[in-house]
Structure 1
């Protein structure tokens, strides 16, 4: 891979000059693959000012124009699929088979955003439902909020940027983007693609930096909405700083998948093995806690072990690799420490548990106690835990006994039981006869409790990124 440079894009200009630069290393090979230029506080101020000044210009674009630009961006991204996939794999250590899928999903997200740009519809409301309103009629319209600040994570560094910029622009807003420091190369490449697709230069600003950069954006009153995907600690900090503005939070989870005694055990094991370790488990809805009925736990454990030990671990740029590495060695050290804690507390190590550099072997634990971090916190690594249960009420109770509530999975062949369990689980989404780790990009995605506020998916994000404006006609 050739050396690349990630640069802030502020007020229609790519910035370099006398600014700090940080080397970017591939987490798998440790090779230096590029550098990122860090935005100064003055750069962030210019970006905020530019985004604020641009909001009326972007709002004045017709829905047709915004849709056309997003469709062209989707076309260009499809054309450059391999380039973007390779870049993400290099920068993140995510296997090529996963990054090719992420680029395909990103194309869909842009296409869906383009379609939704043409569906910003309102309604008419007769006044005569009120005694005082016989001579009045109201019409409602969806109008852009103004400036959307998008703060994105490293684990899906292209699609989650698309999930924020796509709906925000479709709704007629200007955007200021702060991507994760670990994945600035793909963010820079994507901004260049949007400009090539015809997005007005004033529609997007991007700043690169860490916590201080994000805080400067969040506090600013020129920003109307903060759309953040990341961790709970950062989200609480955002809420404290944001003041009187809307905050959309897509946060983490310690997702549960329940395997009941009547389920197709082989299918459940295959799916848990496949979806518990994609992107090394660095997904908010990655399979983490697997509650398995006592009567089938031995069979399920053996089947899952066979699935997991057959996964190919290694170079993320090789097409046959199933599991690459974590985002950095610090993350791998943390995950290893959590595995060791669970074993010390009584969990049985079924397979995995070893670390090499930033890589952790796909790991299966049996019956870790509730207080172990692999159960009660978000692992965000290639670790799943099998936890036996005796009756379905116990599985529901244990799933709900969490500060998180993003998604859950359930395997059963009893439809009445499936709906009863789904209604009882305190989560934003339940997948029946699938694992927690299943999402289509046009569906409403998000959680409750510490898993977030608001929903992603272009249609649902646009609802949050617009305001309802009412115009009343008083008839004589």
Structure 2
């Protein structure tokens, strides 16, 4: 019998399953696959109070203790990656190969967070270098900021939860997790794994629900830091609800990849085909716009279309599938509609079967088409010609987003120019925009967000600098 996963709430140290719940229907299997208990106002109040009460006990855990727990969890994730990949496939339509890849990244993220926990330290300040500091000593250390609220998205629910929760715990904080309604089972199961690995029950809570639950948690004065990943519109709502507290926003993108005339066109087309449709294009850095120098444009479109045609589309539980379903039918319909309205030539795709969107290539859409201007977040790539390198850099910068870009060239001057001039948080050279290492800072500018993710940089945001001043005691000369 097909299992329905019951995703309970973890509130104030207790798992709760009774009460109203929201069902999740798998977009490919077309049946209910999980049921998540919806948090009520009393749950929110209890969770906030418990987070404040638990903050001190978690802060007192030694960094080595936190690191050992995260390392055990990383090993368990590796051992159970097939189980999680199956859950991602039925709950989200993510192909097994993508699900396994995500879980390997989760293991890496937990291991990196463990290493960063061991490295948290401080400074001895050179106060005696100025006359008023003579005779004194000053030190700093990084202290836990306080309760963290982690609001996570559906497209990589396990890995992005790992980034936030692992970094928060590594920093010595307790965390309230608000998972995406589309992936409650995956999120809950990962929290349970961390608890089994030894994470104290006081370190984490899980509250399911929609935007109203997230807004109520954001507004809680007990929360010290809000870490959100999602759309730009939702991020603006989170910032309004949070008010004057530290808020980290990893938002949307409209990622561009530039292919210069000196590039290996076959290599560029192959990489763009592989990274433009993984997870059905549901990634903020997924290849959405490819700008190809006009002299190589037709060649690129032909090779790219051929490569996309070779992708295996369909059942996410099939080991050979490259492209499964999108998160729901509406998302797939958006891709079809935007492609048809783009003013370009659809060389392949442009249709859907339920939530499965055929990988779509649109050649030469109009520059002001919605497909070019907004985040499609789906299985569609637009390919556009350009004439000069200066023009294409300026065109890329017209976007209100600025998360990450790709550049194919062997001209180091263009690499340096693009790194300097492109208004993005990261540039991938001889790769597409869709490449990320989980121990490297990741984040954007403009409407793509505020702050950087990856354990080291998140720990900086999840901690505060505390200073100790010793008057009349000096490790320096005192005259």
Query: Which bin holds the TM-score, normalised by the shorter protein?
Result: over 0.9
- CA deviation after TM superposition for structure 1 residue 131, in Å: 2.1
1:436 counterpart residue number: 433
- Asked if 2 retains the 8 angstrom alpha-carbon contact of 1:256 and 1:287, the reply is yes
Distance, in Å, in 2 between the alignment partners of 1:234 and 1:33 is 26
1:395 counterpart residue number: 392
Alignment of 1:268-307 (within 5 A): 268-307=268-307
Unmatched 5+ residue regions in structure 1?
Answer: none
Distance, in Å, in 1 between the alignment partners of 2:193 and 2:346 is 46
- CA deviation after TM superposition for structure 1 residue 321, in Å: 0.1
2:217 counterpart residue number: 217
2:364 corresponds, among 367, 381, 401, to 367
How many residues are paired up?
472
- Asked if 1 retains the 8 angstrom alpha-carbon contact of 2:215 and 2:241, the reply is yes
Q: Which moves more between the two structures, 333-342 or 205-214? A: 333-342
- CA deviation after TM superposition for structure 1 residue 475, in Å: 2.3
- CA deviation after TM superposition for structure 1 residue 372, in Å: 1.0
Does residue 107 of structure 2 align to residue 107 of structure 1?
Answer: yes
Alignment of 1:76-87 (within 5 A): 76-87=76-87
User: Equivalent residue of 1:116, what SS?
Assistant: helix
- Asked if 2 retains the 8 angstrom alpha-carbon contact of 1:110 and 1:166, the reply is yes
User: Equivalent residue of 2:417, what SS?
Assistant: helix
Does residue 189 of structure 2 align to residue 183 of structure 1?
Answer: no
Q: Which moves more between the two structures, 235-244 or 51-60? A: 235-244
- CA deviation after TM superposition for structure 1 residue 23, in Å: 2.0
- Asked if 2 retains the 8 angstrom alpha-carbon contact of 1:122 and 1:139, the reply is yes
- Asked if 2 retains the 8 angstrom alpha-carbon contact of 1:276 and 1:384, the reply is yes
- Asked if 2 retains the 8 angstrom alpha-carbon contact of 1:168 and 1:465, the reply is yes
1:464 counterpart residue number: 461
Does residue 410 of structure 2 align to residue 409 of structure 1?
Answer: no
2:477 counterpart residue number: none
Distance, in Å, in 2 between the alignment partners of 1:303 and 1:126 is 60
Unmatched 5+ residue regions in structure 2?
Answer: 474-479
Distance, in Å, in 2 between the alignment partners of 1:145 and 1:214 is 20
Distance, in Å, in 2 between the alignment partners of 1:181 and 1:417 is 43
- Asked if 1 retains the 8 angstrom alpha-carbon contact of 2:123 and 2:139, the reply is yes
User: Equivalent residue of 2:410, what SS?
Assistant: coil
- Asked if 1 retains the 8 angstrom alpha-carbon contact of 2:289 and 2:382, the reply is yes
- Asked if 2 retains the 8 angstrom alpha-carbon contact of 1:126 and 1:136, the reply is no
Distance, in Å, in 2 between the alignment partners of 1:72 and 1:11 is 24
Distance, in Å, in 2 between the alignment partners of 1:257 and 1:34 is 37
Q: Which moves more between the two structures, 331-340 or 291-300? A: 331-340
Distance, in Å, in 2 between the alignment partners of 1:152 and 1:177 is 8
- CA deviation after TM superposition for structure 1 residue 431, in Å: 0.4
1:455 counterpart residue number: 452
- Asked if 2 retains the 8 angstrom alpha-carbon contact of 1:149 and 1:175, the reply is yes
- Asked if 1 retains the 8 angstrom alpha-carbon contact of 2:34 and 2:184, the reply is no
- Asked if 2 retains the 8 angstrom alpha-carbon contact of 1:137 and 1:474, the reply is yes
Distance, in Å, in 1 between the alignment partners of 2:242 and 2:38 is 23
- CA deviation after TM superposition for structure 1 residue 267, in Å: 0.3
Alignment of 1:13-32 (within 5 A): 13-17=14-18, 19-32=19-32
1:49 counterpart residue number: 49
User: Equivalent residue of 1:469, what SS?
Assistant: strand
Distance, in Å, in 1 between the alignment partners of 2:380 and 2:395 is 18
Q: What is the CA deviation profile of residues 402-421 of structure 1, one whole-angstrom value per residue up to 9, with x for unaligned ones? A: 11000000000111221112
Does residue 474 of structure 2 align to residue 473 of structure 1?
Answer: no
User: Equivalent residue of 1:437, what SS?
Assistant: coil
User: Equivalent residue of 2:71, what SS?
Assistant: helix
Does residue 443 of structure 2 align to residue 446 of structure 1?
Answer: yes
- Asked if 2 retains the 8 angstrom alpha-carbon contact of 1:363 and 1:383, the reply is yes
1:9 counterpart residue number: 10
Distance, in Å, in 1 between the alignment partners of 2:131 and 2:237 is 47
Q: What's the TM-score once normalised by structure 1's chain length?
A: 0.98
CA RMSD of aligned residues (A): 0.9
- CA deviation after TM superposition for structure 1 residue 350, in Å: 1.1
Q: What's the TM-score once normalised by structure 2's chain length?
A: 0.97
